[in-house]
Structure 1
C-alpha cells in the first residue's frame, strides 16, 4: 500500500496493525505513488483526493494466470486465482479509473458479505484540518514531505505542538500546484486538533 502524508493516520494504523500490510509513504502526486506501487507484486495506491489504482507486476500476473489454469490446484486456490485474474482484467493499471475502482469495491463487498456502511465503519478517521498559507518563504522538506528542513526551527516547533496531543501529527509543505504553503494536522479529538 502506498500513501501520501495526507492519508489519515487512522487508515495507516488500520492497514499496518490490523491488515498487516506494508505501507510506504511518498511525496504528494500520482507520479510518485504510481512509481512506488510498481515496486510491489501487487501495489495499491490512492491519494486522499481518490486518484489511484491497483498495479500488478508482470510476474504476479503470470503466476495468477498459471494458477488459474493449473488442474492440480485445489478449488479454493483456483477460485482465488480466478478472482485475481478478473481483478487484473477489470482495473485500469495505467492511470486508474473511478468506474472500474468502484466496481472492484462493489465486488469485494459482495464477496465478503459486507455493506457499504460496514466497510465505512472499519476504522474512524482522526479529526484533521488542512490550511493554505500565503507565505512566499521557501519551505524545504524531507521524509516524503512529512518533515521540514528549512526554515530553521519550524520542524522543532511543529514537533513541540504534536507531542502535546494523542495520535497527533502535522506537516507543512510547499504546494506543487499553487504559490502557497499547505499545512496539515490531525489529532485524536477535535479539541486536541484545535490546540
Structure 2
C-alpha cells in the first residue's frame, strides 16, 4: 500500500516531503501539485540500459510528467493510462477505489489567530492548552471520526475540519468544535 504523509498546508511543504521518495506524488485539494522523481530514479530507470517492459513503461511515464509546473493535463493522461493498464474505468475508479469521507470545513473568526499553535503537520492543537483534549473528547463520540483546527496563515480565523462516517455526525462534530473555538474569544 501507499502511506500518505501529512505536512502543513501549502505546495512548498508538499514538495519538500515528496522529494524524499523515489517517486513522490503530491496534490492540494485545489489541484496544485505534481509528480517528482529522485536522482536514484534517474540513475536506475531513466539511464538504464535494460529494455524490459517495466523499465520502458517507467521511462515513458516519467517523460510525460512535468515535474516543474505540475501540468494537470499530463497528470490526467497518466491517470487515464494507469487506470486502463490496471483494468479500471474513470467511473470504477470514482466508485470503487476512493470513497471521500463525509466532512465539514468551517472558518471561525477569532480576535488573534497567533494564539493557536499546532504541531508541524497542523493536525494537533498545542495552544491554547486544554483545547485539543476537548476536541479529542468530541471526536471519540463517533466511530472513524477525526478533526483538527488550525489558524489561517493570512486571516484572523481558525479553520475547523471534521470528518465522520455519517454526514450528520461530521456536521455535529464540526459545530461542537466551532463552539469550543468561539468560547475562547
Give the TM-score normalised by structure 2: 0.85
The 1-side partners of 2:85 and 2:154 are apart by: 40
- Where structure 2 has 5 or more consecutive residues not aligned to the other structure, the ranges are 173-185
The 2-side partners of 1:43 and 1:157 are apart by: 36
Matched pairs, number: 169
Q: Which of 46-55 and 25-34 deviates more?
A: 46-55
CA RMSD of aligned residues (A): 1.5
The 2-side partners of 1:140 and 1:191 are apart by: 28
| Equivalent in the alignment of 1:167 | 144
- Where structure 1 has 5 or more consecutive residues not aligned to the other structure, the ranges are 1-19, 72-77
Q: Deviations over 1:15-49 (max 9, x none)?
A: xxxxx223211011000000010111111111122
| Equivalent in the alignment of 1:179 | 156
The 2-side partners of 1:154 and 1:57 are apart by: 40
Give the TM-score normalised by structure 1: 0.81
Alignment pair present for 1:47 and 2:28: yes
The 2-side partners of 1:119 and 1:181 are apart by: 34
Superposition deviation, residue 123 in structure 1: 2.7
| Equivalent in the alignment of 1:21 | 2
| Equivalent residue for 2:57, pick from 76, 83, 86 | 83
**How is 1:6-155 mapped onto 2 (pairs within 5 angstroms)?**
20-67=1-48, 69-70=49-50, 78-121=52-95, 122-137=97-112, 138-155=115-132
The 1-side partners of 2:75 and 2:65 are apart by: 7
The 2-side partners of 1:99 and 1:81 are apart by: 23
Which SS does the other structure have where 1:178 is aligned? coil
The 2-side partners of 1:144 and 1:82 are apart by: 37
